[in-house]
Amino acid sequence: MSVKDDESPSVSGDEVLRVSVRVPPFWPEEPALWYAQVESQFALSRITTDETKFCYLVAQLDHQYAVGVKDVITNPPATDKYLKLKTELIKRLSALQERRVKQLLTHEELGDRKPSQFLRHLSVLAGPSVPADFY
């Protein structure tokens, strides 16, 4: 039996169609926004299983961020792996950002640097999540 050009083959209830997920590169300065985009991709692709979501995130994380949640990746909980990874990644990146801002406010001095060099140093230290008019 052949299928005409204007007909599409039917899919039985047991078949699963896979839709590719386009997980954007991780944004350490805006992890909550990144997660919103990832979750939209999961919804579009009808991915609902915890294990699949967890695996997509682990596969997408750059080395430097994966190391920060190594304990969760290598020894995930039996349930809610995705939620645990999401929660820990956001929490740990927030703590890192808080330390940077604290250093920015308490420990940085002009020293023998030119003001323009010091400003560049402060902007690198602050990262993109701190507005430029803050420093």
Does residue 58 form part of some domain?
A: yes
Does residue 43 form part of some domain?
A: yes
Report the number of distinct structural domains present in the chain.
Answer: 1
Residue 42 structural domain: 31-98
Does residue 105 form part of some domain?
A: no
Query: Do 118 and 135 form a contact (C-beta atoms < 8 A)?
Result: no
Q: What digits encode the pLDDT tens for the residues 72-89?
A: 999 999 999 999 999 999
pLDDT at 40: 94
Q: What digits encode the pLDDT tens for the residues 80-130?
A: 999 999 999 988 887 766 776 677 677 777 788 888 888 787 777 776 656
pLDDT at 39: 94
Does residue 45 form part of some domain?
A: yes
What does pTM read for this prediction? 0.62
Mean pLDDT over each residue of the chain, to the nearest integer: 79
Does residue 51 form part of some domain?
A: yes
b (16+ CB within 10 A) / e for 99-115: ebbeebeeeeeeeeeee
Q: What digits encode the pLDDT tens for the residues 15-69?
A: 455 567 888 888 887 888 899 999 999 999 999 999 999 999 999 899 988 998 9
Does residue 15 form part of some domain?
A: no
Does residue 94 form part of some domain?
A: yes
DSSP for residue 133: G
- Model confidence at 134: pLDDT above 80: no
Does residue 93 form part of some domain?
A: yes
